[in-house]
Amino acid sequence: MEILDGKKISNDIKQEIAEEVAKMKDRGEKVPHLAAVLVGNDGASLTYVGSKVRTCKKIGFESTLIHLPEDTSEEKLLAQVEALNANPEIDGYIVQLPLPKHINEQKVLLAVDPSKDVDGFHPENFGKMALDMVSFIPATPYGIMELLRRYDVDTTGKHTVVIGRSHIVGRPISILMSQKGKAADATVTLTHSRTQNLKEFTKNADIIVSALGVPDFLKADMVKEGVVIIDVGITRVPDSSEKGYYITGDVDFDEVAPKASHITPVPGGVGPMTIAMLLKNTLLARKRQN
């Protein structure tokens, strides 16, 4: 069994980006600038955004955090998005989800300039991705693809079962892995909460990408020997530690790992890859602005 070490690979990617940024600086070029908009004080969102901004600094990017109060109106947020679209200093930006309930998420995502949409959530980018055109690929599926590529995991013709059909993970990874190319060319089945007899699919899967958000959902009796496991799930489970919670994935790691040929841990698997690929997208945005 081989661990797909997202922490290590994400550090390699960040190092590669940092070297490229240093060269840009030496040439007197503008360095990539990522902005993040956060509305409210959701604990997980604060952690994610904080980590994104800190990592920008480490690799030589410029970064801007725009933290708006929970009661920010939709109109105000849309005005902020327009300002970011018009600001030539900003190469790419993200609007951290989820947004408070009184704001229409779709309306906000549609207002993002697709050339600065480094999350890859705008329909223009999603459509281009589905049609094999140059686009911004959402960071989490992009990170999964990169992890599979760098570990040379054979996906050609392999039966890949994706659990979860979200717009940010399940749906895009099912498209990407069915396309032509490295870490792709797979035969993909997309499953979800209405799938009947899920176990019949997972037991026959060569590769399982689990993105549903239910701790320890995938058990040993649901997988076959030699399976490749990509655990996207991140759930905070309350405990008596100082933090008040621990992080766990969708896969019962202790049970499933002995049967797997490759497996991502949680934490330290897909999570760190997501941040690395967001930075990669921001670098691409900077290059494409030229």
What residues are labeled active site? 52, 96, 119
Q: Which C-beta is closer to ligand NAD: that of 80 or that of 177? A: 177
Q: Which of 13, 211, 278, 285 binds ligand NAD (CB under 6 A)?
A: 211
Min separation Cβ 71 and ligand NAD, Å: 25
Q: Which C-beta is closer to ligand NAD: that of 67 or that of 192? A: 192
DSSP letter for 191, please: E
Give residue number: closest CB to ligand NAD: 213
Min separation Cβ 144 and ligand NAD, Å: 9
Q: In a 3-state reduction of DSSP, which class is residue 235?
A: strand
Min separation Cβ 259 and ligand NAD, Å: 20
Instruction: For residue 222, give Cα distances in angstroms to 6, 17, 73, 188, 251.
Output: 24, 39, 46, 17, 10
Q: What is the CA radius of gyration of the chain?
A: 19
In 10 A of CB 151, how many CB atoms? Answer: 16
Q: Which C-beta is closer to ligand NAD: that of 92 or that of 271? A: 271
d(CA 235, CA 177): 25
Min separation Cβ 274 and ligand NAD, Å: 3
Q: In a 3-state reduction of DSSP, which class is residue 236?
A: strand
Min separation Cβ 168 and ligand NAD, Å: 5
Q: Which C-beta is closer to ligand NAD: that of 51 or that of 73? A: 51
Within 13 Å of residue 229, how many CA atoms lie on the same side as its CB? 34
Work out whether strand 227-231 and strand 235-238 pair parallel, antiparallel, or are unpaired: unpaired
Work out whether strand 207-210 and strand 187-191 pair parallel, antiparallel, or are unpaired: unpaired
Q: Which C-beta is closer to ligand NAD: that of 87 or that of 100? A: 100
Min separation Cβ 268 and ligand NAD, Å: 11
Q: Which of 90, 148, 175, 270 binds ligand NAD (CB under 6 A)?
A: 270
Q: What x-and-dash track marks residues 87-126 binding ligand NAD by CB under 6 A?
A: ----------------------------------------
Which amino acid makes up residue 273?
M
Contacts of 86 (CB under 8 A, 6+ apart): none
Q: Which of 92, 114, 172, 233 binds ligand NAD (CB under 6 A)?
A: 233
DSSP letter for 194, please: T
In 10 A of CB 172, how many CB atoms? Answer: 24
Q: Which C-beta is closer to ligand NAD: that of 92 or that of 170? A: 170
* Unique residue bearing structure tokens 């955004």: 49
Q: For the segment 140-199, give every residue that binds ligand NAD (CB under 6 A).
A: 140, 163-166, 168-170, 191-193, 195, 198
7 binds ligand NAD (CB under 6 A): no
d(CA 13, CA 10): 5
* Unique residue bearing structure tokens 């840009």: 24
Main-chain phi, psi angles of 36, to 5 degrees: -130, 130
| Contacts with ligand NAD, residue ranges (CB under 6 A) | 140, 163-166, 168-170, 191-193, 195, 198, 211-213, 232-235, 270-271, 274
